[in-house]
């Protein structure tokens, strides 16, 4: 018997909680970067309800809040450059745009895999007319913990797209 599986096939179905976790990450990051918002504003009522209510309607509900972003969040990847070997990271960003607010979450990026970028619609409102953005990269240390930490968070220079 071999412990090696050639061409493994994995099939799974995510639940509503999986999608709601990404929404919660994006929403809390947005609130941490734009402190003038508390999250209790009426424009955020729909995303709060989506995060809080456990309803067995995952795909229909999730697709109204979460889409997959095709444009890379990191400029090195956007320019076709490959991160160095051993590179592991998460990226999170938030934007205020005319017409609404969004967050972007990309987890477990490696030099071998550019994981999906999830864009979460946090609010839709014509009251939003400006462009503002924030982003952070959490980059894991390539070896052991340094000073007790597995990695470090760095603010990213951002440009809303």
What pLDDT does 144 receive? 72
- pLDDT of 56-72, one tens digit each? 665 677 888 999 998 87
What pLDDT does 87 receive? 79
Pairing mode, strands 132-140 and 88-97: antiparallel
* Percent with pLDDT over 90 in the chain: 48
- pLDDT of 4-46, one tens digit each? 767 777 777 777 788 899 999 999 999 999 999 999 999 999 9
The token pair that represents 62 in the structure block: 């999730």
Output the pTM of the full model: 0.83
- Has residue 51 got a pLDDT over 80? yes
């Amino acid at each position: 018997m071999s412990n090696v599986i050639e061409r493994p096939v994995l099939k799974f179905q995510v639940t509503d909680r999986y999608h709601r976790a990404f929404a919660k990450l994006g929403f809390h990051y947005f609130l941490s970067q734009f402190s003038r918002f508390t999250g209790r504003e009426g424009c955020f009522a729909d995303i709060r309800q989506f995060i809080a209510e456990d309803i067995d309607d995952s795909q229909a509900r999730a697709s109204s809040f979460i889409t997959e972003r095709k444009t890379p969040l990191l400029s090195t990847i956007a320019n076709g450059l490959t991160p160095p070997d051993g590179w592991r990271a998460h990226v999170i960003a938030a934007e205020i745009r005319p017409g609404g607010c969004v967050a972007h979450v990309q987890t477990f990026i490696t030099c071998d895999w550019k994981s999906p970028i999830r864009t979460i619609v946090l609010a839709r409102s014509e009251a939003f007319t400006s462009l503002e953005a924030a982003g952070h990269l959490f980059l894991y240390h390539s070896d052991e913990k340094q000073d007790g930490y597995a990695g470090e968070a760095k603010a990213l220079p951002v440009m809303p797209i």
